[in-house]
Structure 1
Amino acid sequence: MLNEEKILAILRLQKCKAVGDILAKKLIVHVGDVVQIFREKTSHLSKINGIGKHVLKHLFTKENITLAQQELRYIQDNAISYSYFLEDKYPQNLQHCVDSPILLFEDGAIDFSNKKIISIVGTRNMSSYGRDFCTKLITDLAPHNPIIVSGFAYGVDICAHKVAVQNNLQTIAVLAHGFEQIYPKVHKKYMQQVNENGGFLTEFWHNEMPLRENFLKRNRIVAGISNATIIIESAEKGGSLVTADIANSYDKDVFAVPGRTTDLYSKGCNNLIKNNSAFLLNSAKEIVNMLNWDLKATPKIIQKQLFLDLNENEQKIHDFLHDKGKQILDVISLECNIPMYKLASILLQMELKGVSKPLPGKMFELI
């Protein structure tokens, strides 16, 4: 649990209109701690790339302090759970996404110890074909006990949540608003079931409304939190296609269910497949095979490398990656206390020594 000073600083940073998640992480990495950001001289902060007068003006507004204090009171009074992007309990898949929220709020009984996580999204105007496919897909995947993630919206989303509950699977609904709202209101009747079989996640403060732009922000969480994203049905344009694009940008597997060329709500899926933006999905077996769920885990034999010629910073990074596994560049910089401008050259030297290797999405892991 973060202390009160730290959570207040995170909330202030999160509320700053001129600072998105990428810039927020850059600030934290550069300064070394989120609390220190608001103690730092503006002359020092202004030297950080991307921090200009406009950002500094919004960063230190008194209004944000008041709003952060109010939100903290709500969190404390309602025992709201939350996770900071540098904490171990933050969803690991999402932690590797450069634009993931710096702070997530959760409600329910979410357990991320299960690493088999899939997102299922699609049109609000679900056909009987889509409903039948979604039902059979999740039912056939049930023996593998995956977590089913979706957006709690009409159509494909709520179908995925309901079928997951019916199969006693954990399901996570990612919201585009705060916990004091519910959208659509007709889905309020499903809240208890979802809470008892997983729960709700949101980056939005308790009183934030389901604005149009919030749904687009929500989609990156849906795409980033899972191992793969499945599009059941979609028209030529729609939010689920945005989710597919985001998932592809994160180097996640994307699957789409094909349909007849004459069906309006199969055109989006057919185009994803035609453009090689998604794997064609006919059955649960393809998910199981592509994600290696059918393979029994074998003990990983770790052979200690002797006589590695590493300097102090290289050894620090080596030990961190050994303990934590693959990590994003920003997190390595922050946790190892190595400035970003030095880190790139150090990682290159480690790569040349055969110690580490770069991965898509500015991530690195030991060889």
Structure 2
Amino acid sequence: MNPQLRYQIALNYIEHIGPVRAKQLLSYFGSAEAIFKESTQSLAKLPSIGPERAAAIKKKEVLERADQEITFIEKKNIKTYFFTDASYPYRLKECADAPLMLYGSGNLHLDAGHFIAIVGTRKPTDRGKANTERLIKELGERMNNITIISGLAYGIDICAHRAALESGIPTIGIPAHGLDTIYPSTHRNTAAQMLERGGILTEFCTRTIPDAGNFVRRNRIIAGLSDAVIVVESKEKGGSLITANYANGYNRDVFAFPGRPEDKESAGCNQLIKRNIAALIENADDLIQYMNWDLITQSKKPIQTQLFEELTDMERRILEQLRSHSDGLHINELALSMQVPFSNISAELVTMEFKGLVRALPGSIYRAV
């Protein structure tokens, strides 16, 4: 077991220490363990901490609770993703308020392909459910390597998960509670099916009550994990609008299905479109064209083989290096390992990113697509 895990989990239990302040502490001390080993007096002197938060950090109950969580994690084979881990999803890491720790269950590939969030009202109309099912079916027919994300709640959420399963598309649920339960309980069977292709991901520890505040917090994860967020149906003050606004703040692309002026169930969607927060969408082709995503090709030659034949010698060498490092390489490491001037590598990477061959991650890290 990672010796830091106990302290990393414990950071989530400290009162009045949220993700942003915890990341500041990590940056200052270098590790989660070092934070807890520091004296109360030293912690209290830090500008963003003070005596009250310092005392909260040193409470013995914090580490005891972390030990209980580790027991559950080991028993249930839960995956953990700490903010500084290479396995932490890169999309979410870009967000300033990203969770410190994520807990996952299932067959999760958090950096793969295109992540599409589909959200909406808990009381959808028949048209809203039909639009959800049709959209996902079309996406499955037109694209490879997509994952559908939603919140496992009633309405559009569970409709999206079930439609993805029906189409053989991986789907990930983001609940407002820990992995020791499923809320609502009527969705347990669907959640179990999702573990085979996709899974469940949460920032919440066990024994967390799914209250209103936690639903808002989980909405930012749905938005941050996604390349695109689609609101199918929402009333004027629907909760899915929170997800849309988070996505807009994270510079994610937001889409909404339009409704007639008299349709109360679509009033929120219409407002998103009117305020230019969301682009109007009616089918999968609208999304694919807007996002400039590739369709499934009918060529008999493997796509990777075609790409490899069209690469320049330098592009081929760069890809060989990046593919041997699944977590990506810093641009300086890449230039050093290839013994090529930094300026040359930098120019090549810009071109390759434009071609869709590599992806730039925070911190000048590059990864092969």
Q: TM-score under structure 1 normalisation?
A: 0.81
Please state how far the C-alpha of 1:278 moved relative to its aligned partner. 0.6
Instruction: Look up the match of 1:239.
Output: 239
User: Is residue 261 from structure 1 mapped to residue 274 from structure 2 by the alignment?
Assistant: no
Which residue, out of 319, 325, 332, partners 2:332? 319
- Does the CA contact (< 8 Å) of 2:90 and 2:111 recur in 1? no
Tell me by how many angstroms 1:14 deviates. Answer: 0.9
Against the structure 1 CA distance between its residues 214 and 163, is the aligned structure 2 distance closer, same or farther, given a 3 Å change threshold? same
The 1-side partners of 2:138 and 2:330 are apart by: 42
Residues 119 and 229 in structure 1, CA contact (< 8 A), matched pair in contact too: yes
Shift of 1:43: 4.4
Is the 2:40–2:58 contact (alpha carbons within 8 Å) kept by the matching residues of 1? no
Flag the 1:64–1:364 CA change in 2: closer, same or farther, 3 A. closer
Give the structure 2 partner of residue 37 of structure 1. Answer: 35
**Alignment match of 1:20 (pick from 9, 18, 21):** 18
Q: Distance in 2 between matches of 1:240 and 1:363?
A: 28
> Unmatched 5+ residue regions in structure 2?
296-302, 318-328, 337-342, 351-360
Indicate conservation of the 8 Å contact 2:330/2:364, yes or no.
Answer: no
In the alignment, what sits opposite 1:191?
Answer: 191
- Tell me the C-alpha RMSD between the 2 structures: 2.9
> 8 Å contact 1:18–1:59 — kept in the other structure?
no
Q: Which residue of 2 aligns with 1:289?
A: 289
Contact kept in structure 2, 1:181 and 1:209, CA below 8 Å? no
* Alignment of structure 1 residues 133-172 onto 2, 5 Å: 133-143=131-141, 144-145=143-144, 146-172=146-172
Other-structure match for 2:211: 211
- Counterpart residue type for residue 260 of structure 1: R
Alignment CA distance shift 1:113-1:249 (3 Å): closer
Q: For residue 9 of structure 1, what is the aligned residue in structure 2? A: 7
Secondary structure of the 1:24 match is: helix
Matched, 1:67 2:65: yes
Partner residue, 2:55: 57
Q: Which residue of 2 aligns with 1:177?
A: 177
* Matched-pair contact (CA < 8 Å) for 2:151–2:222: yes
Between the aligned partners of 1:254 and 1:15, the Cα distance in structure 2 is: 33
Map 1:46-125 onto structure 2 (within 5 A).
Answer: 46-125=44-123
The verdict on how the C-alpha distance between 1:11 and 1:285 changes in structure 2, with shifts beyond 3 A counting, is same
Taking the aligned partners of 1:185 and 1:41, their CA distance within structure 2 comes to 44
Q: 1:113 to 1:246 in 2, by over 3 A?
A: closer
Higher mean C-alpha deviation, range 61-70 or range 246-255: 61-70
Shifted more, 38-47 versus 208-217: the winner is 38-47
Q: Deviations over 1:111-156 (max 9, x none)?
A: 2352211100000111111111111111111131310000001110
Change (3 A) 1:110 1:322: farther
Find the aligned partners of 2:292 and 2:47 in 1 and give their Cα distance: 41
Distance 2:90 2:184 in 1: 29
Q: CA, structure 1 residues 32+65, in 2 after alignment: closer, same or farther (shift >3 Å)?
A: same
Deviation of the 1:234 alpha carbon: 0.2
Partner-residue secondary structure (3-state), 1:196: coil
Asked whether the equivalents of residues 181 and 208 of structure 1 are also in contact (C-alpha less than 8 Å), the reply is no
Relative to structure 2, which stretch is displaced further, 130-139 or 44-53? 44-53
Q: TM-score, normalised by structure 2?
A: 0.80
Deviation track 1:58-80 (CA, whole Å, cap 9, x = no partner) reads 11111112111111112122221
Q: Aligned-pair distance for 1:103? A: 0.9
Does the 8 Å CA contact 2:173/2:201 hold for their aligned counterparts? yes
Distance of aligned partners of 1:322 and 1:363 in 2 relative to their CA distance in 1, 3 Å threshold: farther
After superposition, the Cα gap between the structure-2 partners of 1:113 and 1:68, relative to the gap in structure 1 and judged at 3 Å, is closer
Provide the C-alpha distance between the structure 2 equivalents of 1:164 and 1:56, rounded to a whole number of angstroms. 46
Question: Distance between the aligned counterparts of 2:335 and 2:245, measured in 1?
Answer: 32
For residues 25 and 366 of structure 1, do their structure 2 counterparts lie closer, same or farther at Cα, with a shift above 3 Å needed? closer
Give unpaired runs (5+ residues) of structure 1. Answer: 305-315, 324-349
Pair 1:286–1:93, CA change in 2 (3 A): same
Q: Is contact 2:233–2:268 with CA below 8 Å preserved after alignment?
A: yes
Distance 2:252 2:129 in 1: 24
- SS of 1:38's equivalent in the other structure is helix
Q: Which amino acid is the alignment partner of residue 238 of structure 1?
A: G
